[in-house]
């Protein structure tokens, strides 16, 4: 989080009071990051409001503030276009859930943003202050490949950074699969052997990242169920999660955990991507 030098704050034309801007001020107040305010609307008649917000931010001590109005075919494309142009390392946007019927027929705009935005995205869902709250980091400790190890490190680093910023406490959730009799590897046919393997992986993980036993929560079952359950159990204010940024047919059929849990979580959600996904998406955005 300390590495964030430029934040793109997406403002909603229909909601003057912006939760996204509140979170952006909190982060920029600690990191000194530049704030770039963005209003995505075809009408592009928000110059006076943006100028007023920028002036108020300057009066509040935020010296590096810029703003613009932009529209580029769709909302998520407009955001990614400006993010690339401005070189922002973090996008902050308020999330409002689509109704279930609309979601069943169309991929929600915020899902598309999570899939296609090359940088980290903070989806703001609550007005609740972060101060003194629990920060929940969701990882898949059972994945040992280098890409996942780097993604996990990024998730934990951001979790610690937010916990420090908010004077809160970091907790970690890792879900492991239920036994499958059809699994080729006998390890995955038995609950005890699965949990044993995960516990061993977790010991190395805890040693590497300094996670105490009481702050590590391991459970059996699907991540998209266990992450919201754990968030509510510990009353977390922010959940940090990684995504493979899956697109195309596989994304439509399988979905990403980050997308699936977005509406299930009560607090804010910070979504990070692997280095490979970030580089690939940046290349697509530039193309």
* 3-state percent helix, strand, coil for the chain, nearest multiple of 5: 45, 20, 30
pLDDT at position 27, please? 94
Q: What is the mean pLDDT of residues 204-225?
A: 88
Kindly indicate the confidence band of residue 28, based on its pLDDT and cuts at 50, 70 and 90: very high
Other beta carbons within 10 Å of 35: 24
pLDDT at position 181, please? 44
Domain ranges of the chain: 6-94, 134-286
Q: How far does the chain reach from its first CA to its final CA, in angstroms? A: 28
pLDDT tens column, 63-96: 999 999 999 889 999 999 999 999 999 999 999 8
Residue predicted with more confidence, 118 or 249: 118
Of all residues in the chain, the percent with pLDDT exceeding 90 is 52
Kindly indicate the confidence band of residue 253, based on its pLDDT and cuts at 50, 70 and 90: very low
pLDDT at position 222, please? 85
Confidence check: pLDDT of 270 > 70? yes
Cβ partners under 8 Å of residue 273, min gap 6: 118, 120, 151, 242, 243, 244, 245, 281
6-94 and 134-286 share one fold = yes
Average pLDDT over all residues of the chain: 84
Kindly indicate the confidence band of residue 244, based on its pLDDT and cuts at 50, 70 and 90: low
Kindly indicate the confidence band of residue 16, based on its pLDDT and cuts at 50, 70 and 90: low
pLDDT at position 109, please? 87
CATH topology for the 134-286 domain: Rossmann fold (3.40.50)
* Alpha-carbon distance values, 55 to 50, 51, 69, 258, 282 (Å): 9, 6, 16, 35, 32
pLDDT tens column, 114-173: 888 999 999 999 999 999 999 999 998 877 777 778 888 999 999 999 999 999 999 999
- DSSP letter (8 states) at residue 87: T
Cβ partners under 8 Å of residue 233, min gap 6: none
Q: Return the CATH class of domain 6-94.
A: alpha beta
Of all residues in the chain, the percent with pLDDT exceeding 70 is 83
pLDDT at position 86, please? 96
Confidence check: pLDDT of 41 > 90? no
pLDDT at position 183, please? 44
Q: For 119, phi and psi rounded to 5 degrees?
A: -110, 180
Residue predicted with more confidence, 76 or 243: 76
**Ordered alpha helix ranges (H), the chain:** 19-31, 47-59, 75-86, 100-105, 109-116, 146-165, 191-209, 223-233, 248-254, 257-262, 275-286
- DSSP letter (8 states) at residue 186: G
User: In residues, how long is the chain?
Assistant: 287
pLDDT at position 19, please? 92
Confidence check: pLDDT of 58 > 50? yes
pLDDT at position 93, please? 96
């Amino acid at each position: 989080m300390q590495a964030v030098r430029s934040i793109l704050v997406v403002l909603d034309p229909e909601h003057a009071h912006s939760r996204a801007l509140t979170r952006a001020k909190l982060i920029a107040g600690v990191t000194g990051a530049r704030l770039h305010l963005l209003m995505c609307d075809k009408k592009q008649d928000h110059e006076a409001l943006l100028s007023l917000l920028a002036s108020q931010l300057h009066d509040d001590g935020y010296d590096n503030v810029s703003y613009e109005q932009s529209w580029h075919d769709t909302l998520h494309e407009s955001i990614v276009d400006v993010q690339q142009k401005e070189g922002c390392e973090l996008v902050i946007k308020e999330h409002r859930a689509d109704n279930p019927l609309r979601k069943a027929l169309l991929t929600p705009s915020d899902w598309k943003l999570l899939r296609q935005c090359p940088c980290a995205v903070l989806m703001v869902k609550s007005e609740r202050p972060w101060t003194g709250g629990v920060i929940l980091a969701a990882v898949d400790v059972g994945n040992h490949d280098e890409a996942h190890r780097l993604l996990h490190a990024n998730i934990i680093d951001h979790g610690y950074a937010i916990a420090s910023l908010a004077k809160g406490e970091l907790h970690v959730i890792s879900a492991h699969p239920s036994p499958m009799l059809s699994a080729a590897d006998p390890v995955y046919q038995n609950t005890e052997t699965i949990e044993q393997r995960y516990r061993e992986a977790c010991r190395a993980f805890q040693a590497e990242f300094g996670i105490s036993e009481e702050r590590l929560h391991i459970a059996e079952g699907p991540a998209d169920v266990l992450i919201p359950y754990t968030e509510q159990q510990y009353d977390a204010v922010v959940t940090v999660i990684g995504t493979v940024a899956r697109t195309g047919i596989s994304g439509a059929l399988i979905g990403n955990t980050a997308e699936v849990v977005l509406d299930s979580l009560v607090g804010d959600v910070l979504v990070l991507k692997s280095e490979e996904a970030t580089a690939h998406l940046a290349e697509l955005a530039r193309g």
